[in-house]
């Protein structure tokens, strides 16, 4: 193999990050269309939903300026998703539950890429997994807070747990020195599968009230 593994990891991180940016931007833009934001508001929400997670990760590990600020590709990808959604949101919405599925894909990609980058910055493995989870759920949280909704991640269904599962697979692969690309694919698939299954089958974590039977 002629490509050094450091270079490959870097490329892998970039591709995961840009793909996650695109799908989270779609989810942000669709949420903006639903709340009847104007064109620029939709673009701002695309950017915020897509890049808040990565920006938070980079600020927290001290990698400033964050990739999403220093690299214009993150902006362009997010704006493309926003413009596409603005003009074709009916087509996008026709795919049933599309916002939630895009959101699940973004969650998976960001959880994996966030964990990889945190490990590359030498955080200890446990906190790298947590930071990957935070990266994954950060964009959705900012999207929901900007629309004054309690973030979906806090309310229901298996969400943060799916991100954490993917992040832990990345950490396990790192500790076992497995090659990062296949580990990333497995980790992202696991996260995505858990999240989508949780949506389809309406899996719920217990709330404190539900523990007591029909508590009120």
Q: Toward a second copy, which CB reaches closer, 8 or 127? A: 127
Q: Which residues bind a second copy (CB under 8 A)?
A: 32-33, 35-45, 55, 59-62, 64-66, 69-72, 75, 85-87, 89, 121, 123-124, 126-127, 130-131, 137, 141, 145-151, 153-161, 204-209, 211
CB of 118 to a second copy, least distance (A): 9
Q: Is 203 exposed, middle or buried (0-12, 13-18, 19+ CB in 10 A)?
A: middle
Q: Quick count: other Cβ atoms within 10 Å of Cβ 182?
A: 10
Interatomic CA distance for residues 161 and 182, integer angstroms: 21
CB of 102 to a second copy, least distance (A): 16
Interatomic CA distance for residues 203 and 184, integer angstroms: 25
CB of 1 to a second copy, least distance (A): 32
First vs last C-alpha separation in the chain:
62
Q: Toward a second copy, which CB reaches closer, 13 or 129? A: 129
Q: Toward a second copy, which CB reaches closer, 181 or 209? A: 209
Q: Toward a second copy, which CB reaches closer, 32 or 173? A: 32
Q: Toward a second copy, which CB reaches closer, 8 or 199? A: 199
For 70-101, letters b (16+ CB in 10 Å) and e give eeeebbebbbebbbbbbeebeebeeeeebbbb
Interatomic CA distance for residues 57 and 140, integer angstroms: 14
CB of 157 to a second copy, least distance (A): 8
CB of 186 to a second copy, least distance (A): 22
Contact 82, 22 (CB under 8 A): no
């Amino acid at each position: 193999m002629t490509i050094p593994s450091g270079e490959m990891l870097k490329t892998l991180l970039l591709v995961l990050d840009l793909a996650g940016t695109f799908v989270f931007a779609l989810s942000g833009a669709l949420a903006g269309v639903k709340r009847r934001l104007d064109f620029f508001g939709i673009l701002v929400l695309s950017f915020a939903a897509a890049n808040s997670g990565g920006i938070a990760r980079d600020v927290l590990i001290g990698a400033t300026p964050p990739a999403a600020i220093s690299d214009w590709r993150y902006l362009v990808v997010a704006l493309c998703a926003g413009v596409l959604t603005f003009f074709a949101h009916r087509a996008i919405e026709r795919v049933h539950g599309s916002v939630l599925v895009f959101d699940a894909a973004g969650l998976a990609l960001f959880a994996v890429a966030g964990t990889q980058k945190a490990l590359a910055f030498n955080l200890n493995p446990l906190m790298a997994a947590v930071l990957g989870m935070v990266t994954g759920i950060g964009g959705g949280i900012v999207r929901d807070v900007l629309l004054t909704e309690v973030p979906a991640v806090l309310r229901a269904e298996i969400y943060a747990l799916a991100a954490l599962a993917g992040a832990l697979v990345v950490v396990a692969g790192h500790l076992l020195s497995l090659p990062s690309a296949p580990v990333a694919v497995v980790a992202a698939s696991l996260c995505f599968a858990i999240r989508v299954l949780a949506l389809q089958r309406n899996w719920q974590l217990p709330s404190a009230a539900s523990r007591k039977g029909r508590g009120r």
